[in-house]
């Protein structure tokens, strides 16, 4: 029995499996979530021999495709992702016999752990020959041809730090740029420079790359006006994805605000530390606990360096993850780890104490962890930070963009009243 045959037998429903041989023949489609980050991550996958493409198709047609195969009470991000896959495959741009799709997963009790069977069920109905890959480090699925090497994961980690940095500096600079488009040009130039250095092994030059990115944004001519800061927290997909949150960041920029978006690495560290917390809270210990402890130490060490270099500039640094954990402890137990769990109130508290008191909590309809740890915990956050102005916004197939934006506009109206009152005081 060859490897491909053995892989196929690992799945009782005999779904197609991405084999090592497909690396040279298949294009892997990836749903869009973080455009700036995914640009670097897909480039790294290409360096490792994979043919990958991030999907940018959106609109009502994508949502309707998702609704054909996912019940509207299911997780909205799953609906968006499946709709994006099917819409792309039906576009005629891709040969289904030479195309695969890939989704990242973290595992755990969140319904996101069921994305794989949902995607497979949808594809089996219309494109049964298209294999599905799961990119995860939690052992959710074994047997596909995706090679998870230490070198690849290390490059991914650096790329995520670069993406977090660029995202933060862009949002801190773009609202104040004197010449429209300057920040976009800097962002694109930074991406090109980083891609060239990844290809030459430049991922080891972390400090040099970070300082060059900071310097590049620092020279953008800006005004000295002050704008309302609005933080974005919530379920990871709708927090970041333009498709999932109706282009929330662009809307806030258009409303003369400064978006403040927490780092993607915070969510990764959250997932890693939850594995370590399993022993403390639930007495669960696995053979991989040591590896996760090592990974946490390495990742957190790089985050501290990044924060240190940002503090040396004029920019507000990213949140320190250990401080986020302390913020969580003041609101909710770290054993609450379903979905984004304790990370949501931790981010709301950290944003409030650093001057970003206006916060949008983006939550998919039907996301129980988000409603409990996000919307439900907001009162406890407000008790600690009385000036916190938090608005939960639901994102689902039936919610209109107008209603979502109107809720945010009401929050901004309150923010502007508070701003006037503080100036009088």
pLDDT band (50, 70, 90) for residue 105: confident
Write out the H or E segment, with its range, that includes residue 253.
Answer: helix 248-254
> Does residue 262 contact residue 347 with C-beta atoms inside 8 Å?
yes
According to DSSP, the residues that pair with 362 across neighbouring strands are 234, 393
Quickly list DSSP for 210-245.
HHHHHHHHHTS-B-----EEEEEEESHHHHH-TTTT
> Does residue 361 contact residue 354 with C-beta atoms inside 8 Å?
no
Half-sphere exposure for 367 (CA within 13 Å, toward CB): 33
pLDDT attached to residue 202: 52
Q: Check pLDDT > 60 for residue 3.
A: no
pLDDT attached to residue 116: 84
8 vs 235, more confident: 235
Per-residue pLDDT reduced to its tens digit, 326-384: 999 999 999 999 889 999 999 999 999 999 999 999 998 778 788 888 889 999 999 99
Measured at the alpha carbon of residue 147, what is the angle toward residues 146 and 148, in degrees to the nearest 5?
110
The owner of tokens 């198709």 is: 57
For residue 127, give the DSSP letter.
Answer: -
What's the Cα-to-Cα distance from 136 to each of 32, 108, 192, rounded to whole Å?
A: 17, 12, 27
In angstroms, what is the C-alpha Rg of the chain?
A: 21
The number of angstroms, rounded, from the C-alpha of 395 to the middle of its chain's C-alpha atoms is 16
Tokens of 360: 């949008």
For residues 132-159, give the mean pLDDT.
80
Write out the H or E segment, with its range, that includes residue 51.
Answer: strand 51-54
Domains and CATH numbers, the chain: 3-147 (3.40.50), 228-262+319-424 (3.40.50)
Per-residue pLDDT reduced to its tens digit, 40-52: 999 999 999 999 9
Per-residue pLDDT reduced to its tens digit, 242-284: 999 999 999 999 999 999 999 999 999 999 999 899 888 888 8
Q: Check pLDDT > 50 for residue 2.
A: no
pLDDT band (50, 70, 90) for residue 117: confident
> Does residue 352 contact residue 322 with C-beta atoms inside 8 Å?
no
Give the predicted TM-score (pTM) of the model.
0.92
Give the lowest-confidence range in 14-23, 90-99, 284-293, 326-335: 284-293
The stretches of 241-312 forming alpha helices (DSSP H) are 248-254, 264-282, 289-311
For residues 57-64, give the mean pLDDT.
92
pLDDT band (50, 70, 90) for residue 200: low
Q: For residues 140-154, b (16+ Cβ closer than 10 Å) or e, as one string?
A: ebeebbbeeeeebee
For residue 320, give the DSSP letter.
Answer: P
> Does residue 61 contact residue 80 with C-beta atoms inside 8 Å?
no
Q: 366, 168, 337: which is closest to 267 by C-alpha?
A: 337
Q: Calculate the average pLDDT of the chain.
A: 89
Percent of the chain exceeding pLDDT 90 equals 69
Tokens of 166: 């660029």
Q: Check pLDDT > 70 for residue 389.
A: yes
Phi, psi angles (nearest 5°) of residue 423: -70, -35
284 vs 226, more confident: 226
């Amino acid at each position: 029995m060859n490897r491909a045959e053995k892989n196929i037998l690992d799945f009782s429903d005999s779904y197609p499996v991405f084999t090592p041989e497909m690396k040279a023949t298949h294009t892997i489609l990836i749903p869009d979530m973080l455009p700036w980050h995914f640009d670097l991550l897909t480039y790294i996958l290409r360096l490792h021999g994979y043919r990958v493409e991030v999907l940018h198709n959106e609109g009502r047609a994508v949502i309707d495709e998702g609704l054909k195969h996912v019940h509207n009470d299911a997780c909205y991000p799953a609906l968006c992702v499946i709709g994006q896959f099917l819409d792309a495959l039906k576009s005629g741009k891709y040969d289904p016999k030479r195309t695969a799709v890939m989704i990242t997963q973290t595992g755990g009790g969140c319904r996101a752990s069921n994305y794989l069977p949902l995607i497979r069920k949808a594809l089996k109905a219309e494109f049964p020959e298209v294999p599905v890959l799961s990119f995860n480090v939690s052992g959710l699925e074994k047997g596909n041809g995706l090679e998870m090497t230490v070198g690849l994961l290390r490059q991914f980690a650096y790329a995520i730090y670069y993406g977090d940095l660029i995202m933060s500096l862009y949002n801190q600079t773009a609202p104040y740029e004197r010449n429209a488009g300057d920040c976009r040009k800097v962002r694109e130039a930074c991406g090109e420079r980083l891609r060239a250095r990844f290809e030459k092994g430049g991922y080891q030059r972390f400090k040099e790359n970070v300082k060059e990115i900071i310097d590049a944004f620092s020279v953008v001519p800006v005004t000295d006006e002050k704008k309302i800061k609005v933080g974005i927290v919530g379920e990871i997909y709708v927090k970041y994805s333009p498709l999932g949150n109706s282009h929330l960041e662009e809307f806030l920029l258009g409303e003369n605000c400064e978006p403040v978006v927490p780092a993607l690495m915070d969510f990764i560290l959250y997932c890693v530390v939850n594995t370590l917390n399993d022993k403390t809270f639930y007495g669960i210990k696995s053979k991989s606990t040591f590896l996760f402890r090592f990974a946490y130490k390495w990742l957190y060490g790089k985050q501290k360096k990044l924060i240190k270099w940002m503090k040396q500039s004029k920019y507000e640094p990213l949140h320190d993850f250990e401080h986020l954990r302390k913020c969580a402890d003041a609101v909710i137990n770290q054993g609450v780890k379903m979905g984004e769990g304790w990370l949501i109130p931790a981010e709301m508290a950290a944003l409030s104490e650093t001057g970003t008191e206006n916060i949008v909590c983006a939550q998919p309809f039907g996301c129980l962890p988000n409603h409990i740890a996000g919307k439900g915990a907001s009162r406890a956050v407000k008790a600690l930070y009385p000036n916190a102005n938090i608005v939960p916004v639901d994102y689902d197939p039936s919610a209109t963009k107008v209603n979502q934006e109107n809720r945010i506009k009401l929050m901004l109206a309150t923010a502007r009243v508070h701003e006037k009152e503080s100036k009088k005081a």
